[in-house]
Amino acid sequence: MGVLFVIVGGLSIAGGIFGKDFHVADILSLRPYRDKMPTWLGRQIFIVGGLFFILVGIKFLMDAR
């Protein structure tokens, strides 16, 4: 489980670094907004989320011992 979290975190960070267009979706109506999110904000969300997944994965791997 921890390895999966580390892999997902790495892919999220890569998506944040190489991504160009980020869009916001409305969860309740399941429809995307027409406007784009600023690129710097989309990258920041992906990178912070990826770091969170990596930290949780490392914690799982440390507790497995």
**2-31 pLDDT tens trace:** 999 999 999 999 999 999 888 887 778 777
Q: What pLDDT score does 39 carry?
A: 92
Is the pLDDT confidence value at 36 over 90? Answer: no
Paired tokens of 29:
């109506």
This prediction's pTM:
0.81
Q: What pLDDT score does 23 carry?
A: 82
Task: Over range 23-43, report the average pLDDT.
Answer: 82
Cα–Cα distance for residue pair 47/14, rounded to 1 Å? 8
